[in-house]
Amino acid sequence: MLPPSESRDPMSRSEIYGLATIAGHTNTPRVLRIKAIRALARIPDQNAIRVLGEMALWEEDEGLRSEAYRSLEATFGNDLPEVLESIRQELTGGYMEGSADDEEEADEPEPQAATGFEGKPQMEYSKQNPTTKVEGTPLWLLWVIISVVVLGGLVYFFLTR
């Protein structure tokens, strides 16, 4: 991966999302998926790293999984196992079974994200983001104000006629 100072222009989130979609979509030709993985490896962005980590951990195609692993290995070197473990913990919502922290807190199980095969997290698109706060004026109040203004305008029009 290039350091941010050497990159020509920063990739936008939509471009990273597009590459991630190509890399992760099973119906995309394998050659394009490999190119997308290699392109993601050149992007100095944590979202690109997270996508590559997810592929290195859970991709079904062994060749693509090893390509993602090699791409991350070129960036992180000997630190790659720790990076992958942190990505695994982030995406699964906690520590894997058998870790030292689980033995200390065996009485209190941690809540975990919904998972699919082999512990792969599944996105829950139906839930609203809990950090999003609905702001603004209630809709009923806006209708009351519009009604009062319209009625007031009609009364004024007929009285000044």
Please give the structure tokens belonging to residue 45.
Answer: 């962005």
37 — pLDDT class (breaks 50, 70, 90): very high
Please give the structure tokens belonging to residue 37.
Answer: 């993985």
The mean pLDDT of 53-67, rounded to a whole number, is 91
Q: How far is CA 112 from CA 10, 88, 90, 115, in A?
A: 34, 12, 10, 8
Q: How far apart are CA 2 and CA 30, in angstroms?
A: 25
Q: Long-range CB contacts (< 8 A, 24+ apart) of 145-150?
A: none
Please tell me which of 1-10, 81-90, 117-126, 131-140 the model is most confident about, judged by mean pLDDT: 81-90
Query: What average pLDDT is seen over the chain?
Result: 77
pLDDT at 6 over 90: no
Half-sphere exposure of residue 42: CA atoms within 13 angstroms, side-chain side: 13
Q: How far apart are CA 113 and CA 26, in angstroms?
A: 23
Which of the two residues, 146 and 120, has the higher pLDDT score? 146
The mean pLDDT of 138-143, rounded to a whole number, is 84
Reference 53, options 23, 12, 94, 95; nearest CA is: 23
Helix then strand then coil, % of the chain, to nearest 5: 60, 0, 40
pLDDT for the residue 2: 43
Residue pLDDT, tens place only, 118-128 = 555 544 444 45
Q: How far apart are CA 70 and CA 75, in angstroms?
A: 9
Strand, coil or helix: 131: coil
